[in-house]
Every structure is written in C-alpha cells, then in structure tokens.
Homo-oligomer: A and B are copies of this chain.
C-alpha cells in the first residue's frame, strides 16, 4: 500500500492542538447528548451534579472544540423512500493520487452515498449506500462503477438487517 502522507484528520474540522482534555463531567454530558440532544440542560445538570449554566458552558466549549461535531435529527431511511442499505467494496485500477482524489470527489457528490471511507486492505473504498430499490442500485452501479474505467471491481453486500446503527461512540468510564 502506497501510503502517502496520510493525515488521519480530514476536513478542516480537526481538533485544535491545545484543546483541554475532557474530564468525567464532559464525558457524562456527552453520553447523554449522543443519546438525546434535546435533553434540557437543567436535567443534564441534575444527572451529573452540576448547575445548568455550567453544563451550558461545557457544551459550548465542546462544540467549539469540535468534540461535538454537529447536532442532527436521525431520519429513518425507509420513511423517506430509501428502504435498502447496501455496502460496496471498491477496488481501483490505479492508486495514483489524482485518481484517488477524483474517486473521493465523485462518491462525495453522489447523494445516495451515505458514507465513504478510503481504506487499507484488499479494497480502496468502502461505501454505504441507500436506495429505493434494486433498480436504483443497478443504475447507480452503471454510473459509479461500470462507467468509471478506474474501477477494477466492486463487491456488493445488501443489508438484510440493521442489527446496530451506531451513532454512539463508546465513552471511557
């Protein structure tokens, strides 16, 4: 694997170099927010033994530090007409930097591509895709893979069961 200077931190959202470490209060707050970020600061304060303003200051600090990346509503894909989830392993012909970057760009711009990771191992990319039906997936493969002559091969895994939908990060005790 030709590892160029791969910075694991991507996108300007890297953590500030000198961000103060998280204490147990911060972790307790995060544990609540990643389950339900509509929880009032008052209740969070009671749960962690802190006043509401203290909770508020910590949340704001963690947002600015990038610890909290965003606050979002999680939508059930089936409810908006995308009931099928598919994993795809993509292997490229060439791993030249420009071609890798071109692939990243194309995958990023495709709305059906929910997640795209550049990986080591026997594949170069792993994609998580949601579609309305297999016809839509077939059309997508034509555009993304067969229509791209830098794609050597790809393997498809259709999800039959979403056993665990991890949004939660395992927090230290």
Contacts and interface: CB of A to CB of B under 8 A. Distances in A.
A164 B108 contact: yes
- Size bracket, chain A contacts: 35 or more
Interface in A1-58: 3, 5-6, 8-15, 19, 22, 27, 30, 33-38
A77 B68 CA distance: 9
For the complex, would chain A's binding face be called helix, strand, loop or mixed by DSSP majority? mixed
A147 interface: no
A111 to B, nearest CB: 4
Contacts of A115: 164-166
B36 A159 contact: no
A65 B79 CA distance: 9
A117 interface: yes
Closest 7 CB pairs of A and B: A114-B166, A111-B170, A33-B73, A116-B164, A118-B161, A119-B157, A116-B163
25 contacts: A8-B78, A10-B83, A10-B84, A15-B78, A30-B80, A33-B72, A33-B75, A34-B74, A66-B79, A68-B75, A69-B76, A70-B74, A70-B167, A72-B168, A82-B170, A87-B117, A108-B163, A114-B167, A116-B164, A117-B159, A119-B158, A120-B160, A121-B155, A130-B170, A167-B167
